[in-house]
Each structure stands twice: as C-alpha cells, then as structure tokens.
A and B are shown apart, each in its own frame.
Chain A
Amino acid sequence: MSAVPLSKSAPAAAPVLPVPAAPSPLAEAARMFARNPAAVAGLVLLLAIVLVALIGPLVYAVDPFEIRAAPLTPPLAEDAWLGTDYLGRDVAISLLYGGRATLLVGAVAALLSVAIGITIGALSGYYGGRVDAALSRVTEFFQVLPALLFAMVVVTLFSPSLLTVTLSIGLVSWPGTARLARAEFMKVRDMEFVRAERSIGARDARIIWKVILPNCIAPLVVSATLAIGSAILFEAGLSFLGLGDPNLMSWGMMIGSSRQYVLSSWWAVAIPGAAIFLTVLAVSLIGDGLNDALNPKLRER
C-alpha cells in the first residue's frame, strides 16, 4: 500500500459529494490517440489508401495488364500521367489495382498470424509446464526457419495464388506475437482477479479468453498493428521475387517486373515502392499512437 498522508484525524462524517463518473478506459485511449498528430495523420493516410484501393478499380474498370501507351513513357505524359513500364502498362492504373492485392493479403495474413500467435502464446503462458515446453519448441522451430525462404518454398511447391501466399505468410509470421502473448499471460495468470475467477469454478476457456485476454489486449493490439505492416512488406517481397498471384497486379510485382529496366524507367520502380512505403508508414504511425494511447505508463515519455 502506498504511504497514507499523515492527517490529524479523519473527519467524523465525510460530506456527500457527487462523484464524477470515471471516463471509460477506451474513451480515454481514443482521446489520447486523437491528440497525437502523427497517429491521426497515419490513420487518415491509411483510410485514404484503403478507399482509393477499394473504389478506384470500381470507378475506373480496366485491365491493369493491358498495354495502354508506348513502353517506357516517362511520367506526366498525356496518355499516362505516371508513365508506363517496359511493356507499356500504365503505372497509375497498376498502382490503383495493385493496392487491392497488397492490402488484402496483408490484412488477412496478419489476422491469421495474430490468431495463431495469440492462441499458442495464451495456451503456453496459461498452462505452463509441459504444454509450455512443447509449444515453445514449436515456436522456436518457426523462429529458426527463415520465414521468407519457407514461404518461397511453399508458394513454389503449391503454385502461387492469393490463398497460398496469404496462408504461407500467416503460417510463418506468428512467433513474435506468440512470445509476447505468452509473456503477458504468464504475468497475469496468477493475479488475484484471475484466482478469484478460478475459485468460483470458471472453466479454463473462460478464464483464458474472457478474463486474462482482455487484460493483456493492449500490447497485443499494438503488435497486431505492426503485424499488418510486416505482412504487407512480406507480400511485397514475395511478389517482388515473382511469387505473388500472377493474375493479380500488386505493388511488389510492379517493382519486380521492372527490376531489369530500372535504369530506363525509374518511375515504374520508385512509385509503387513509395506506395508500399506510405502504407506501412501509416500503419506503424497508427501502431505507435495506439501504443502511447493504450499504455498509460509510457505517457510521460
């Protein structure tokens, strides 16, 4: 207990004062987030990118693989304002369509990896002992396995498609989340409110998902945000290596296919890369903002 200030004597009857309702922690966090200009900028940027990627192709329905102007047209030309690549495909149109695959794969793969990571970390941290030993071995195995190479092998063996790419990214990028969830669960599992819950006979599943998880959700949310950024970069890397879905335009694929022609069409490489960069930047600004907003201990920094 913290030191009680030395008061002379407690008042005989405390005056009844209306107690102001404490703001809900969520509202408090939202307020903190809204006061952080970098985080808000990230959110606005990400929303803009997602909107453009969703609506753009609907408004402007063409085939992004189609040849639309002379090859290697520099930007600001009349028929292609961001220029064309070595085949004459319009960079602006590819950019518009490429966002879809990149964002979709990034989001779904991140969701998958966070789901696997939290489940494994939660079981490992909650049960401890042999379960922990076994699951930690599995985590270690996936940490040793070079993720990008493993995804390359899986995607090549099972032929590249949206599904294989998403699955392979999700399956290899969970160990970080698992370690974090494990540590959080170990920290919380013996706290009093958890013991209280156990003493009234709550089942393990309830304690894990309904009691402990909400209490360590803050760091996990932050790590999930970062996982989206990593998954987008991962997808971009795979498509850069030519292992994305060949029928879907993506930002990484644009860079990869123009790799050999970079000196005669720098725009076909620089522009999609900038799109990836801005997207991941937006996501990590949001992540940093959430970290500050959800973790009150860090607020003074």
Chain B
Amino acid sequence: MNLLRLLASRLAQALLLVVAVVVLNFALVHAAPGDPVETIAGASGGMSEELKAELRQSYGLDKPLPVQLGVYLSRVARLDLGYSYFFNLPVVDLIGERIPATLLLVLSSVICAFVAGTGIGVLAARKPNGWLSQTITVLSLVGFAAPVFWTGMLLVILFASVLPIFPVAEMRSIDGSDKGLAGVLDVLWHLVLPTFTLSLVYLAHYSRLARASMLEVLGSDFIRTARAKGLADRVVLYKHALRNAILPVVTVLGLQFGNVLAGAILVETVFNWPGLGRLAFESVLRRDYPTILGVLLLSAVVVLVMNLLTDLCYRLVDPRIQKR
C-alpha cells in the first residue's frame, strides 16, 4: 500500500523530469544558430521548399513560441520524435531497433562489475592489508585514469592480431548463424570484449567501495554479537555483514547509471556495437539532429527507469527503508 503510493510519487517525479528534458530539447533546437526547420530536419541547406513548408506547418513554427512548445510536447507524448532524413526512418523506430543492443551491453557490464567488484572487495576486506587490498587500490586508480575507449582499442589490438579468440567488432558473425541457441551464443561471444572493457572501470570502483564498506560493517557491534553467539565465520561474513555492506555499492550503482551509458557510447563506437551509442555517434557525424535529440531523451528515460529499479532493489536489500 505504502509502497504503491511511493511508487506513484516516484513515477510522477520521473515524468516531470522527462518533460523537462523535452523542454530542454525544444530550447536547444531554437537556440541553435540557423533556421529551426533545418535543425528539425537535420539538414544544412538543400531542403525542398515543400518539405520546409510542410514541417513549418506540422510543428507550428509560424505560431508563438509557447504554442510551438505545446505542439512539440504533444508530438513527443504521442511518441513522435520526428523523422530522420538521413536514415529515412522515423526516429522512434530507429531508436527501438538499437535499444536492445545497448541494454544488453550496459546491463551485462553493470552486473559483471557489481558481482565481481563486490566479490573482490569482500575478499579483500578479510585481510585489510593483504595483497588483494593493495591490488584494489592500484586497480581503482588505473580504472579511473584509463580512458575507456583507449582500453577498448588496446583490447582490439591484442585480440585482433596476437590472440584472435574473441571477435573485436559487431554483434553477430557475418555468416549469420542467427537462429536459436547458436545465435545467442554468437551474440554472447561478441559481447565478451565490450562488456569487459566497460565493466573494468566500475569493477575497480565497486571493489574499493565494497571493501571500505565491508571493513566498516565488520567493526560494528552487531557483528561482534554475532561472533560472540558462536556463529560460523562464513555466516557472519556473508549473511550479516555482506547484506549491510552492499548498500552503499547499490546506491552508487544507481547514481552512476548515466556515466555507464556515456561509457557505452564510447565502447560501442570502438567495437562497432550496433546500439544507441553508435547511433548517437553516427547521427552526430551526419548532423542528424532529430535522431540525436531522440537518443538524448530516450537515454534520460533509461537512466530514470534504472534509478527507479535501483530504488526498488535497495528496498529489497534493506527492509528498514519501508518503515520510513
């Protein structure tokens, strides 16, 4: 009951933020130098007069700005994000085509980074000055400092010439065994390097976070109590401590989703992964404004959805929150 009400208010907030992004898009189109019609069509000159007139009419560009905003908002509300004259497709279809690839990459990276990161962090917390702890410190420095597109390309160099066991580009093999289990395995095989690249950054970060938070929890009274009761070390560590230590990691994970998406844009460009990021890259190169604005809006929606999901996960891990 309470949860439902909370969810509703969260959704309302999220909706407001989405509207704000749409308004921002509208403002950007109008603030950009040049004729808004050309921006909307994503063409720089060379448009036919008929098309111009048609667009002007359908976007109400001859009316005052507030009316134009209204028209724009109602179009977006009907999932009409405009038409990409470069790809010759409605932007919504274009984006819909690319979403699954990006979600696959982002989710697999986040899950890998989360599982491996907390795992390493928890192991390291058992020996705060052991070699694993030292490794984590170094790894988190390296993980932050190495540009994700650079590590990706170093992997491309390595796996394309020296050690050709993983494919370094695209999502599927060209010979097209895309049906059934073979197709799934083929995609997973192509997923290895992009996921590894993207998760490396966050793996280092999460392991450092998990280690610090685990050390903090292990010093608290209820752990001493659990130990005093004579519980097995394993139970104390994984049942009592881990559940509490994982909370800060979940929080950061939720907050960082926008960053992961940014990383995905770069990684997709490196590995030619056919997702939203590569679409954004291609449309930027072609000055295809409707597409890039659509990708921006949709990415904001993805981040919002992920934030909501993190919040729900947080509630699952930490039942105390529901009481508030």
- The residues of A with any CB-CB pair to B shorter than 8 Å are 140-141, 143-150, 152-154, 156-159, 229, 233, 236-237, 240-243, 252, 255, 259, 262-263, 266, 269-270, 273-274, 276-278, 280-281, 283-285, 288
Docked-complex contact A153 and B292, CB < 8 angstroms: yes
B281 at the interface (CB under 8 A from A): yes
Within 8 A of A (CB), among B277-317: 280-281, 284-285, 287, 289, 292-293, 295-296, 299-300, 303-304, 307
Cα separation A285 to B32 with both chains bound (whole Å): 40
User: Are the C-beta atoms of B292 and A156 separated by less than 8 Å?
Assistant: yes
Indicate whether A149 sits within 8 Å of B280 (C-beta atoms), given known contacts A269-B153, A270-B154, A270-B157. yes
Flag if A153 contacts B304 (CB, 8 Å). no
**Within the complex, which residue of A140, A148, A255, A281 is in contact with B262, where a contact is CB–CB below 8 Å?**
A148
B53 beta carbon closer than 8 Å to chain A: no
B193 within 8 A of A: no
- Confirm or deny: B104 has a beta carbon within 8 angstroms of a beta carbon on chain A: no
C-alpha spacing A149/B269, complex, angstroms:
13
Q: Which of B76-84, B143-151, B182-190 contacts A (4 or more CB under 8 A)?
A: B143-151
Interface residue from B24, B160, B262, B289 paired with A146 (Cβ < 8 Å): B262
Q: Which residues from B are CB-within-8-Å of A255?
A: 147, 149-150, 153
Our pick among B31, B145, B280, B287 for the contact of A229 (Cβ within 8 Å) is B145
B48 within 8 A of partner (CB): no
Interface residues of B (CB under 8 A from A): 17, 20-21, 24, 28-29, 31-33, 39, 141-142, 144-150, 153-154, 156-157, 160-161, 255, 258-259, 261-262, 265-266, 269-270, 280-281, 284-285, 287, 289, 292-293, 295-296, 299-300, 303-304, 307
Is A263's CB under 8 angstroms from B265's CB? Answer: no
Q: Are A236 and B147 in contact (CB under 8 A)?
A: yes
- The reply to whether A152 and B284 form a contact with Cβ atoms under 8 Å apart is yes
Task: Choose among B32, B262, B304 the residue that contacts A149 (Cβ–Cβ < 8 A).
Answer: B262
Q: Which of B144, B146, B281, B295 has a CB less than 8 Å from the CB of A241?
A: B281
With both beta carbons as reference points, the residue of chain A lying nearest to B303 in the complex is identified as A144
Task: Name the contact of A237 in the complex, choosing from B24, B145, B147 (C-beta under 8 A).
Answer: B147
Q: Which residue of B lies closest to A252 (CB)?
A: B147
State A286–B78 Cα separation when bound (angstroms).
51
Question: Is A243 in contact with B284, judged by CB distance below 8 angstroms?
Answer: yes
Q: How far is the CB of B306 from chain A (nearest CB, A)?
A: 10
Closest approach, in angstroms, between the C-beta of B91 and any C-beta of chain A?
14
Output the least CB separation between A245 and chain B (Å).
Answer: 15
Query: Across the interface, do A237 and B266 meet the contact criterion of CB distance under 8 Å?
Result: yes
Which residues of the partner chain A approach B146 to less than 8 Å between Cβ atoms?
273, 277, 280
Chain B's closest residue to A236 (CB) is B147
The smallest C-beta distance from B312 to any residue of chain A, in angstroms, reads: 17
In the bound assembly, the distance between CA atoms of A12 and B145 in angstroms comes to 61
In the complex, are the beta carbons of B292 and A262 less than 8 A apart?
no
Kindly state the separation between the CA atoms of A283 and B141 in the bound complex, as whole angstroms: 10
* 6 A-B pairs whose Cβ atoms sit less than 8 Å apart in the complex: A146-B303, A157-B28, A241-B265, A242-B284, A255-B150, A255-B153
Cα separation A263 to B159 with both chains bound (whole Å):
10
Q: Please give, as numbers and ranges, the residues of chain B lying within 8 Å of A285 by CB-CB distance.
A: 141
A199, chain B: closest CB distance, angstroms = 35
B280 touches A147 (CB 8 A): no
Residue on B with the closest CB to A270?
A: B154
Contact A148 B265 (CB under 8 A): yes
Given the interface contacts A143-B258, A145-B258, A149-B265, does A281 sit within 8 Å of B142 by beta carbon? yes
B141 touches A154 (CB 8 A): no
Query: Using Cβ atoms and an 8 Å threshold, which residues of chain A touch B287?
Result: 156
Complex contact A147–B147 (CB within 8 A): no
Which residue of chain A has the shortest Cβ distance to B17 in the bound complex? A144
| Contact pick for A154, options B28, B33, B149, B160, CB 8 Å | B28
Q: Which residues of A lie under 8 Å from residue B150 when comparing CB positions?
A: 255, 269-270, 273-274, 276-277
User: Contact: B280 with A263, CB < 8 Å?
Assistant: no
Asked whether B147 lies within 8 Å of A259 as measured between CB atoms, the reply is no
From B17, B21, B153, B300, give the contact of A259 (CB < 8 A). Answer: B153
- With A141-B20, A157-B289 known as contacts, the answer to whether A240 contacts B149 (CB < 8 A) is yes
Q: List 19 other contacts, CB 8 Å, given A152-B265, A263-B156.
A: A143-B258, A144-B258, A148-B262, A148-B266, A152-B292, A153-B292, A156-B284, A158-B32, A159-B33, A237-B262, A240-B149, A242-B284, A243-B284, A255-B147, A259-B153, A269-B150, A277-B147, A277-B150, A280-B144
Q: Which residue of chain A has its CB nearest to the CB of B16? A: A137
Which of chain B's residues has its CB closest to A138's CB?
A: B20
A149 touching B299 by the CB < 8 A rule? yes
